[in-house]
Amino acid sequence: MIMSEQELKLHVPKSARTSLKGAMLRGAVTRVRLRAQYFDTPERALVTAGISLRLRQEGRTWVQTLKMAGSNPLSRLELNHPRPDATLDLSVYDDSPAKKPLAKAAKELSVCYETDIQRLYRRIRTPAGVVEVAFDTGQIKAGGLTLPVCEVEFELVSGQLQAVFLLGLKWQAAHHLILDLRSKAERGDRLAALAQQLAGLGDTQESVTAAARAAAVASFWAPRPIMPISLKASMDCQQALANVTLECLEQIARNSAVLAEVDTESVCQAGTPEHVHQLRVGIRRLRSCWSLYKDLATLPPEAWREAVKDHFSALGTTRDDDVLRESLMPVLNAAGQPPVEFARHNDSHSSMHLARSVPFQRWLIEMLAWSVQGHPIQTPSAFADDPSARPANLKLTLKKKLFKWHQRVLSDGLKFDTLEIKAKHDLRKRAKRLRYGLQFSESLLPAKKLKSYRKQLSSIQDILGEMNDLYVAREKFEGIRDDQPPAWFAVGWIASRLAVLDKEAKTAFAGLKNADHFWD
């Protein structure tokens, strides 16, 4: 029998472990040691098929468990079977959707990684249902590598999904917990892949090996980029909004978890400027999603939509400094820029500080809850407007709205050289919004025409993006030129470069006018 598992998993920072354990001990708790072996082929056939297969020793008993992805990041389909010992029995899946991929992989299955977890758990009743709270500490092991585990899981036992978030949000605020969407299986698979990759570097030269090992280890926490979204023509706008929102939240949550040092606290710094960039991209995409579905579906509460602006702005200073230091300064130095110095911004606005902050993490969890219709404020009346009044044809509706966005971008773009700086900045944001809207909807649009159109739009974005970075940099250089005269060189160089980009932008917008029409 296939069961559905719905749980929220939050990382417990070192500073919160004592207080969280104290909260657990306020009720009747159970302690158990969970040692598990996870199986796959050397080519990761099961992971590719979306399957996790494990044998876990729970006290004195063994349980064989197969998991598959559910309908959202919180849900998983689960099959559990008791075993007399640490041996697999694949015959129990003969009547399940996993039968075919397991049959193909059976001969090559072996243990890829293991977990050793100390679990403290108890059940808590909320107004919306009963939740099992499990505090897990321990390790994931693969090929000589280990990864620490310290997390609390809130799993629905009975009642409504709102119960999970009622409790999760309360504990998040009390203990400063951090959302981590990765399962132990996902982390273990990645760790096993890393161990295999590092083992393959053994025969290379020592200097090459050190650099290659560092790059491989860094890739374990690689930034989470934009991923494809698949919408179906049969969906209504509310369903499509939820799908797009969840993908944006995945990008935000996974990059912010790295910046918050979920795996690396007090050990090393895995977060990079690219994580900050991808986090900002995720937030910008989410806001574009709300613009696309405005008046087409019920959006999250306005307070949440406003709150994200502050989080985005807090990340902006860090990103601007990174662009100046890593992208523009090398070009200026090559052109003859004399040395200049910039003041560093207060660390209280750092990306790590934001990613770990209670307000940001609460916002992220609340948005996730809303997207899976599990927020405590959500009831059947949460979508009170009449669904029958919404557009029925998703594909046609999105085409019409994207075409309107195209017309607005093109109208301003064709007179680009007459626009003021603020108007150019607004146009850049609208062009970016259009590009994200196309990415959200691409599964419903003609692929060949869309590819041509997006290529032209991407060229425009590159130009406008560089111009925006130059405007920001020019303001910084103008702010120090009285005290540091060499800054005048940068101001002059930027003015010259902006003049060139003005002409390139005008040509690019003319090209967009003649690009293939994705709306036909």
Give per-residue pLDDT as tens, 341-367: 987 654 434 789 999 999 999 999 999
Helix/strand/coil for 457: helix
In this structure, are 245 and 155 located in the same domain? no
Range of the domain at 159: 3-193
- The predicted structure's pLDDT at residue 380: 47
In this structure, are 436 and 302 located in the same domain? yes
Measured CA to CA in angstroms, residue 9 lies from 128, 313, 399, 506 at distances of: 19, 27, 37, 49
Domain annotation covers residue 208: no
The one-letter amino acid code at 191 reads: L
Least confident range of 50-59, 67-76, 304-313, 404-413: 67-76
The domain that contains 115 carries what CATH number? 2.40.320.10
Q: Are 491 and 478 in contact (CB under 8 A)?
A: yes
Domain annotation covers residue 129: yes
Domain annotation covers residue 466: yes
d(CA 48, CA 266): 33
- Of 164, 193, 222, which residue is a domain's last? 193
Task: Tell me the torsion sign for CA atoms 253, 255, 261, 262.
Answer: positive
- Of 175, 193, 211, which residue is a domain's last? 193
Domain annotation covers residue 204: no
* Distance of alpha carbon 210 from the chain centroid: 30
In this structure, are 149 and 287 located in the same domain? no
In this structure, are 181 and 248 located in the same domain? no
Q: What band does 388 get if pLDDT is binned at 50, 70 and 90?
A: low
Number of H helices, E strands in the chain: 16, 9
Helix/strand/coil for 22: helix
In this structure, are 173 and 259 located in the same domain? no
In this structure, are 283 and 429 located in the same domain? yes
Q: Is the pLDDT of residue 286 over 90?
A: yes
In this structure, are 157 and 274 located in the same domain? no
Number of domains present in the structure of the chain: 2
In this structure, are 186 and 244 located in the same domain? no
Domain annotation covers residue 205: no
d(CA 374, CA 361): 16
Burial class (CB in 10 A: 0-12, 13-18, 19+), 200: exposed
- The predicted structure's pLDDT at residue 290: 98
Q: Are 16 and 174 in contact (CB under 8 A)?
A: no
In this structure, are 186 and 295 located in the same domain? no
- The predicted structure's pLDDT at residue 317: 67
Beta bridge partners of residue 130, listed in sequence order: 125, 158
The domain that contains 423 carries what CATH number? 1.40.20.10
Domain annotation covers residue 201: no
In this structure, are 153 and 290 located in the same domain? no
Q: Are 293 and 240 in contact (CB under 8 A)?
A: yes
What is the residue-averaged pLDDT of the chain? 92
pLDDT tens for 120-143 read: 999 999 999 999 999 999 999 999
Residues 175/176/182/184 CA torsion (nearest 10 deg): -30
In this structure, are 99 and 241 located in the same domain? no
487-513 vs 447-480: helix crossing angle, rounded to 10: 160
Q: Are 328 and 320 in contact (CB under 8 A)?
A: no
Q: Are 509 and 413 in contact (CB under 8 A)?
A: yes
Domain annotation covers residue 217: no
In this structure, are 312 and 183 located in the same domain? no
Domain annotation covers residue 291: yes
